[in-house]
Amino acid sequence: MTVSIWEPEPTTEQLPEARSDDFVDLFTAQYPKLVGVLRVTGAVDHAAAEDLAQEAFARTLGHWRRVRNGTNPAGYVYRVAFNLLRRRGGLPQSPLDDVDPPATGATTEDRAIANVTAASALQAMPPRRRACAALCWHLGFTSEEVADILGIDAATVRTHLERARRAAAEGAPLA
């Protein structure tokens, strides 16, 4: 059989069958977290965060055969959502401050004060720093994964995290 350079070579390899249960598992585990991170950015309200998250999952479903076999399907969804947010005029902001969490035996009042302090510190951060902090500290993504999600260099993510930690330790404004 002769194959022309202008025609694709015949292949018998098929893409793996997309199973809906693994997409459902991803959606169930990540949807509430994604909505929460989008809310923490301060760029969108709850309804807009849900819209962005739903659109990100819908776009991911369209590429699910490829995405499900990737190294980080959840990271893919977050990147789509943050790209959508960026295109709509807001750089995703989702930081958690370097505030020490209250001890396990802390009272309800202590936990409430710590939550208010962390929320205030997050709101004081610039949007990109807030996004880096929230994704790394709150959701546990690595700096490389956050760099991929936000479309920036991993060193930039680490710089934002270090500046947030230093400002929190010094009690200075986090901007």
At 96, the pLDDT band (50, 70, 90 cuts) reads: very low
At 77, the pLDDT band (50, 70, 90 cuts) reads: very high
Whether residue 67 is predicted with pLDDT greater than 60 in this model: the reply is yes
Q: What is the pLDDT of residue 57?
A: 96
> How far apart, in whole angstroms, are the C-alpha atoms of residue 62 and residue 40?
27
Range among 62-76, 104-118, 158-172 rated most confident: 62-76
**pLDDT tens digits, residue range 114-163?**
555 556 666 778 888 888 888 888 788 888 988 888 888 999 999 998 88
Residues contacting 128, CB < 8 A, separation 6+: 91, 93, 150, 152, 160
Asked whether the CA dihedral 35, 59, 16, 19 is positive or negative, the reply is: positive
> How far apart, in whole angstroms, are the C-alpha atoms of residue 82 and residue 93?
9
Identify which has the larger pLDDT, 72 or 96.
Answer: 72
